[in-house]
Every structure is written in C-alpha cells, then in structure tokens.
Structure 1
Amino acid sequence: MSNEQEIAKAREYFPRGLFQPEGTFRFSMDALLLARFAGAAKYRSAVDLGTGCGVIGLTMLLENERLVVTGVELQQVLLDAAKQNAEHLGVTERFNGALADVGAIRACGLAAESADVVVSNPPYRRQNQGRHAATQERTCALFETEGALAAFVQAAAFLVKNKGAFCCIFPSERLEELMDACSQNKLTPKRMKFIHSKADQNSTLVLLEARKNGNCGVVVESPLVMYSGMGDSTALTDGTLEYCPYLECNARGR
C-alpha cells in the first residue's frame, strides 16, 4: 500500500485508529463535538490548548485544507502521539506542536494574538470529584488543579486575535464560572449550545464561543440531545450524528 493510500485509509476511518499511548487520557465525544462546534472552515490559524493526542486540531485540519493548527500540550508522550497522528493523516506540514504548561503560555514562544481561534477541552473534574485515574497522566488530563480554568482562559485571551474566537466545552453546572473567567479576560460570550444526554434530562455540558473584545449579544443554539431509547436499545440520535458524523463509529444498531 502506498503512502497516499495509507493516508486516505486513515482519513476514511478517522477518528478510529488514532494513536493514544497506554495509560494516558483517551479522548471522548466531548472533543469531537467541540471541533464541530468551532467550525474550522472560517479560520486560517488555530491553537488547541491541551491537545492530547491531537483529535480536536486534527478534526479541524481535515475539514479545512488551508488551516494551520498549533497543539499545546504539557505531556511529551501525548505531544509525540499528536505529531504521529498528524503524520498518519497527512497533515504534518499544518500541525505544529508546542510543549508547554498552559499556565505559562507567555514563556513558550507562541506570539500574542496569533490565532484566529483557540479551542480547548480543559480538565474539569474537581480534585475531590470522584476517583482519580490509575495513572498520573490520566489524572492530569481529567482533574483540574487550582486555577486551571482561569489559566486556560487567560492563555486563550493571550493567543487569540482581536475579535477572534475562543471555543470550549465545559460542565453546564459551572457555566457561571466559565462566563466570569471569560469576562475577566475580555472574552465576550457570543454563542452557546447545551448538550443533554437524554431529552428529559438536564444539560450536562455546554459548548461556548466567546469573542475577544466582542460586542454584547449571545445566540443560544438549539440543544443537542445525545441519546434516545432505553437499555440495550440506547443509541445516538439522528440529530447528534448529523451534527457530528465522526461519532458514527460509536453508534449502535447502525
């Protein structure tokens, strides 16, 4: 099989087949939903804060051949995995890796106001919320440290251009904290989409787009209901698969 054929196959099966080092955080649906919400087509430069294996940035690269993404990651093993995944998908020349702590973004060499959009799926489990993961690497990706939300938002505000976008996914119950952090960093909420596991259940997650020095006014998009059915018949809804076709590999009964 030629290199071109291998790349075509990797793209066809994406996001299946992404390399995720043993013992590290494995991406979830949250990342794919955020990539779709951000909307890659309208941007030329993006930064993915806490890129992990690169899934968010790589999704955006596959949807826009003119986009360049920089993935910022604290763990070398994950950054190496992201670069490996970029190579397998044939987007190496458009994916840059930066080994850095989000909380010290100004010291990592990335220029201020250099990105059209900054995306992030930050750790949002509180330290005392549930059992920690089996490895330190997974714990680091899942559980936030003190001031983690502020650090991610501050980094986004530093990197994004004036009027540029910051897009993230966060627990709905903590929306007030997220909005406050954005306000403190001159990121004005402009668009929101609430995610519900079932139609009769409260929202668990929210997708938020904020604009740097943006004008007031928020568009609340129609909610996304992830699942229908009960028990063994539970499956992703048609609306969810239409919104994010990459989730098809997780669909049941199809």
Structure 2
Amino acid sequence: MLQGDERLDYLLAEDLRIIQSPSVFSFSLDAVLLSRFVQVPIQKGQLVDLCSGNGVIPLLLSTRTKGTIIGIEIQERLFDMAVRSIEYNKLSHQLQMIHGDIKEIPKQIGYAKYDVVTCNPPYFPTTSQEEINRNEHLAIARHEIMCTLEDVIRVSSQLLKQGGKAAFVHRPGRLMDILTLMRSYRLEPKRIQFVYPKSGKEANTLLIEGIKDGSPDLKILPPFIVYDEHNEYTQEAKQLLYGDKV
C-alpha cells in the first residue's frame, strides 16, 4: 500500500490515517484550520475541495458532515496518495478524488450545484524555473504555477449554488486581493479569522468564508493563537489537532 518514502500518519482528532511523503507533500496546520473553520451541512450536501493535495481536507471534513465530498488534485502522485488514503479509511462511499485541472472542473462536474467549496491554494506568485526543477511537487503546491488565486475564486463561484459557501486559507498579505476577487465573482465575504503564531506576533495565516450572492455583513472572528509563551500549543490548537486526546 505504501510506496517509496511514504508513511502512514495519524489525524489524531479525527481518528483517521493519511498517506504522506516528505519528498512530495505533507499537509500543514493550514489544512486543519480550514477544515474546522468552514461551515458545512451536517446531514447532507455536496462539497468540493480544490487543490486537494493528498486529500487531507476531504478526510478531515468527512468527520463533520454526512454529505458527499469531491477532491480535485492536478498532480497524479498526490491524487494517487489521496485515493489510497480514502480506501484505507473505508470512506469511498462518501469521498471521491478527481485527477484534473481545477480550471476545467466546472465543465466536468457541473455548474452552480454545490453547497460548499474549500481550497488551500498555492500562496506564492510563480517561482523560478530553478526552484521548480528542484522539487516540482512542492513548487506546484506552494506557487501559482498551475492555478492562480483568481482561478481558485472564479472556479469556486462557478461551482457554488446561490447561497453556497466558499472558504479559503491564505496569507494576510493577499487579503485585499482576496476580498476584491471574491466580490468580483459574486462571493460576498462573511467571516474572517486571523491566525497568529504567538500572542504579540503578526498574523501569518488568514481564514475567510464567503456566500455566493450573499448580503454584505462581514464578521471578524476572535484571533486563533497557535503557540503559548512556552512555545507549546495553546489549548485551542491542541483541541484542533488532538481532539479529546489532549
């Protein structure tokens, strides 16, 4: 089941396992934060996760909703890891992975029919060819090589039904770009939460959720702080990562 340098890691709070590879992709706290931040229908619904990587967000969301979840990933190696993780956790009845380019996905799976779209997109503008050559998998995951922020927001809007929710995790430095693009593609920003590495530090992560054709009313949620003054996880971060096992 495992290939090369892959390992089987625990998603502790959810009691799931996930296949990871340090040379290809390992999920970060950002994915966990987004999976907990987004508001999802509990009993039913159709959800899509764009730029899914090794399927971490669909796996995490499966514990919060009984709805169906489709993950989209362009890199074949990551797509394959996600498929095997879904099979290992016996979640094939609820989760589906599609190997493809997010820009083509609305044509493939349908327009304006989904309740929730999530995305942990590449954060950084296109990198140098030298860096891409060094590790193509990581470069594509981190840099806007295969898709831009605008692609992500446009496709999210195309997939969502009216009143559907889109949620993204990104860097605070792109906040104005995100807000501008969301409004231009009919996604009205409704909730924002800033994530801080420690109290007294600048925010380094941004969580944002919008509603397609929603009315203007933006809420700024309380800050999420990852580490305390002893460089240990705060109680809130422990709960996020370990659930009742803290």
- Please indicate the TM-score interval, normalised by the length of the shorter structure: 0.7 to 0.9
Deviations 1:21-42 (A, max 9, x none): 4531211000000000013344
Q: 1:147 to 1:26 in 2, by over 3 A?
A: closer
Provide the rounded CA distance (Å) in 1 between the counterparts of 2:146 and 2:46.
Answer: 30
Runs of 4+, deviation exceeding 3 Å = 9-17, 39-43, 131-134, 245-249
Task: Determine the C-alpha separation between the residues in 2 that align with 1:203 and 1:124.
Answer: 15
Tell whether 2:46 aligns with 1:49.
no
Give a deviation string over 1:167-192, Cα, whole Å, max 9, x none: 00010111000111101100000011
Contact 1:121 1:170 in 2 (8 A): yes
Displacement of 1:132 in angstroms is 3.5
SS at match of 2:53: coil
Please identify, of 143-152 and 181-190, the stretch whose mean Cα deviation from structure 2 is larger: 143-152
Greater share of helix residues, 1 or 2?
A: 1
My pick for the range that moved more, 185-194 or 43-52, is: 43-52
Q: Is the 8 A contact 1:15 1:55 kept in 2?
A: no
Q: Percent identity?
A: 24
Matches within 5 A, 1:57-68: 57-64=58-65, 66-68=66-68
Match of 1:217?
Answer: 217
Describe the SS at the equivalent of 1:240. helix
Residue aligning to 1:33: 33
What stretches of structure 2 of length at least 5 have no aligned partner?
A: 1-8
Is 2:188–2:210's contact at 8 Å kept on the other side of the alignment? yes
- Matched to 1:224, the amino acid is F
Task: Give the secondary-structure state (helix, strand or coil) at the position aligned to 2:109.
Answer: coil
Counterpart-to-counterpart distance in 1, 2:18 and 2:61: 15
Per the alignment, in what secondary structure is the counterpart of residue 24 of structure 1?
A: coil
Is the 8 Å Cα contact of residues 195 and 204 (structure 2) preserved in structure 1? yes
**Shift in Å at residue 240 of structure 1?**
2.2
Between the aligned partners of 2:62 and 2:21, the Cα distance in structure 1 is 22
Secondary structure in structure 1 of the residue aligned to 2:63: helix
Deviations, residues 205-251 of structure 1 (Å, cap 9, x unaligned): 1100010000000111101011112xxx4111112223x144899xx
How far has the Cα of 1:101 moved from its partner? Answer: 1.0
Letter in 1 for 2:104: A
Q: Distance in 2 between matches of 1:193 and 1:246?
A: 21
Equivalent runs, 1:1-254 vs 2, <5 Å: 17-21=17-21, 23-42=23-42, 44-64=45-65, 66-107=66-107, 109-128=108-127, 132=131, 134-145=134-145, 148-229=148-229, 233-242=230-239, 244-246=240-242
Structure 1 unaligned residues grouped into runs of 5+: 1-8
Normalization by structure 2: what TM-score?
0.87
Over 3 Å counting, the alpha-carbon distance change for 1:227 and 1:125 in structure 2 is: same
Partner Cα distance (2:194, 2:11) in 1: 29
Measured in 2, the distance between the counterparts of 1:168 and 1:15 equals 24
Give 1:11 deviation, angstroms: 7.0
Q: Are 1:32 and 1:246, in contact at CA under 8 Å, matched by a contact in 2?
A: no
Q: Tell me the TM-score normalised to structure 1 length.
A: 0.84
Q: 8 Å contact 2:86–2:92 — kept in the other structure?
A: yes
**Which residue matches 2:6?**
none
